[in-house]
Amino acid sequence: MIIDVHAHIVAGPEVGAYASHLVAGRGFHGRGDGIVVSDASIRQYCDRHIESLKAVGTDLQLISPRPFGMMHSFEPAKIVGWYVGAVNELIARQVDLYPGNYVGVCGLPQSPSTTPSSWMSELERCIRDYGFVGCVLNPDPSEGQSSLPSLGDPYW
């Protein structure tokens, strides 16, 4: 069995639309309905992706959010949490639709204005509720915006 342990979510424009909603309102209008995407839309993107996996002999992928797209440097921190949670929920839906092809790996709400201990509830939720097998850390959650130490620092 060939397992790709470093893959990222396959998704359509609904993800970007949700991010735009959060950024435009900076959380003032709440989290909204999350990423509103139909199973048909998920299948449209995932079916093509899975055909590519089959073509190169990959049997299973561990999928996670794309760290550079997780809005970690945005403020207020609550929009980071809402976005990360919504992306993790979308990954869970993809895993449910394709259990033989995907396994979930969650993103964490790594806002520079929060602490790593505050991210653990999202990790626990994803493991407990969705059966995810781990998490991905963004090596530069401040995205060059602050003095948050890199992943090699004892802070982590």
Q: Is 120 within a domain?
A: yes
- Structural domain harbouring 54: 3-136
Q: Is 141 within a domain?
A: no
The CATH number for 56's domain is 3.20.20.140
Q: Is 154 within a domain?
A: no
Among the listed residues 71, 139, 102, the one whose alpha carbon sits nearest the alpha carbon of residue 4: 102
The string of pLDDT tens digits covering residues 21-51 is 888 777 676 667 777 889 999 999 999 999 9
Q: Is 44 within a domain?
A: yes
| pLDDT, mean of residues 5-31 | 79
Q: How many domains does the chain have?
A: 1
Among the listed residues 82, 94, 66, 89, the one whose alpha carbon sits nearest the alpha carbon of residue 18: 82
Residue 19 and residue 35 in contact, taking contact as beta carbons nearer than 8 Å = no
So what's the pLDDT on residue 14? Answer: 81
Rounded to two decimals, the pTM is 0.88
pLDDT: is 77 or 128 the higher one?
128
Q: Is 94 within a domain?
A: yes
Q: Reduced to 3 states, what is the DSSP secondary structure of residue 51?
A: helix
Q: Is 27 within a domain?
A: yes
The string of pLDDT tens digits covering residues 81-128 is 999 999 999 999 999 999 999 999 999 998 878 888 999 999 999 999
Q: Is 155 within a domain?
A: no
**Lowest model confidence (mean pLDDT) among 4-13, 72-81, 109-118, 138-147:** 138-147
Q: Is 144 within a domain?
A: no
